[in-house]
Amino acid sequence: MKLNHAHPSRRARALRITGIAAVAAIALAGCSASGDAGDGGDAGGELTFSNWQFLEDGKGPIIWDAVKGYTGPNDNIELTKVEIPFANYADKLSTELGAGGGPDVMVLQDSQFASLVDAGVLEPLDDIADELSDSLNNTNEAGFFQDGQYGFNWERPTYNTVIYNKDIFAELDLEVPTTFEEFLTTAETIKSELGIAGFAGRHQTAEIDGWTLEMANWIYGFGGELSDGKKLTIDKAENVEAVEAFLETFESGVAPIGDDASTFRAKFGQGQVGMLFENSGVATTITSNPDNVVNGENMGAAPLPLANAGSNSQLIIAVNANSDNVEAAKDFVRWVLGEEGQTAIRAGLGASAMATDVEPDAEFLAANPWATQFLEAAKTSKSTLVEGFETESKPIWREVLTAVEDLRVNGGDVKSKLAEVQKSLEAELG
């Protein structure tokens, strides 16, 4: 696949990261880019690699074990992991990078990636794209932005799937739902018969990044979108229907109010939640935890019980342009994208789409029949980036979700509320 394109100079862009003005003066010596001066491919020393996944139960240790032995082409690199919880990962990185620090290599969500490219703090990687064009698949188009390749697909977990507890479904003689009406009825049956949550999901702006991914399932699933590529479409009829269905689900009592993602995922793993709209990465984490009662055999996976495909969580590996060891960082990216690296990290990424078409281990697929659904769903899932408004995606989603949260807490007319958001964002963005 040909990925190379000419790109404008990153030096010519203004440094624009939300919140930087308030924190640029903070001393970040302990978080600054590390290593020796990077004037060539033989640069050695410490190379810092940031990824919130290192903290995930089950999955995190597998990923770190896959990469920690990397020592560079001249055996003089020491890879050090940087562990930042997902809840404040984006804000912390933006603060550090805006102050000229941050890790040498990092995994980013696509929304933050677009903003950081626009801010000029990510290193262009067109040369790597050229070198590896024959082996990279089209998921790496996610790392091409503003006429340059600034990153590559680390993992594409799709949220375009409902996972469910097969034991609960068998006990209650339930069928896997295929429509929203069937889904809500199934969730209500689980709640009434067993006294546990029939469904759970994010529903608070305190988890804004994760909720964006989940809410996109509802918006896309009902045929909605936040723009048509040229103008915003916040209050279109399909979006209104999606939000009404989301609110109805939580108002019905089938889903716990107040539980964050860590809590309800842990409950699902322990058999205390019937269904989740989840991504392949979380499914891998849940089934990799030996303490869970839900495992590869009794966890089911099926297409969303909605009319259309849902979202994906595109994760991108990128290099800090201000790193003191840029060439070593780029060598690490090359290794990750090569056969050795892809094979090594595949074990931790389960059923997610990767930068190359490396297949999951046959033994893994045999032990986890649910994985094939995620591999198939990756083909139709959609990014949460708002088309035509990519660098404004986070503030757009924030206003939308703030409105949804207000509707959940205080009630109100969904169409009128989304029309207010539409008007506000039009005034703000022009």
Tell me which DSSP letter residue 129 carries: H
Q: Which two tokens stand for residue 17?
A: 């990261």
Which CA distances in Å does 209 have to 32, 181, 337? 25, 27, 26
Q: Which residue has the tokens 């399909």?
A: 238
Which residues of 135-196 form beta strands (DSSP E)? 144-145, 148-149, 152-155, 161-165
Q: 162, 86, 155: which is closest to 316 by C-alpha?
A: 155
Q: Which residues pair with 45 in a beta bridge?
A: 77
What CA–CA distance (Å, rounded) separates 426 from 413?
20
Q: What is the pLDDT of residue 37?
A: 37
Please tell me the predicted confidence (pLDDT) of residue 58.
75
Low-confidence stretches of the chain (pLDDT < 70) are 1-43
Burial 331-345 (b: 16+ CB within 10 A, else e): bbbbbbbbeebbebb
CA gyration radius for the chain? 22
Q: In the structure encoding, which two tokens stand for residue 347, read together?
A: 């074990």
Sequential DSSP letters for 78-119: EEEEE---HHHHHHHHHHHHHTT-S-SEEEEEHHHHHHHHHH
Q: Tell me the per-residue pLDDT of 397-429, one tens digit each, with 9 for 90 and over.
A: 999 999 999 999 999 999 999 999 999 999 998
Q: How far apart are the first and last CA of the chain?
A: 37
Which residues of 175-333 form beta strands (DSSP E)?
197-200, 273-277, 299-303, 315-319
Q: Which two tokens stand for residue 292?
A: 């869970």
Quote the pTM value. 0.77
Tell me the C-alpha distance between 319 and 61, whole Å: 22
In a 10 Å sphere around its CB, with 0-12 CB exposed, 13-18 middle and 19+ buried, how is residue 126 labelled? middle
Q: How far is CA 68 from CA 30, 160, 278, 344, in A?
A: 21, 31, 28, 10
Minimal CA–CA distance to 152: which of 187, 174, 124, 181?
A: 124
Q: What is the DSSP letter of 36?
A: S
pLDDT at position 313 is 86
- Run of H or E residues at 46: strand 45-50
Q: Are 95 and 15 in contact (CB under 8 A)?
A: no
What pLDDT, on a 0 to 100 scale, did the predictor assign at position 43?
62
Reading phi first (left if > 0) and then psi (alpha if -120 to 50, else beta), residue 290 is in alpha
So what's the pLDDT on residue 42?
52
Which residues does residue 48 pair with via DSSP β-bridges, in sequence order? 80
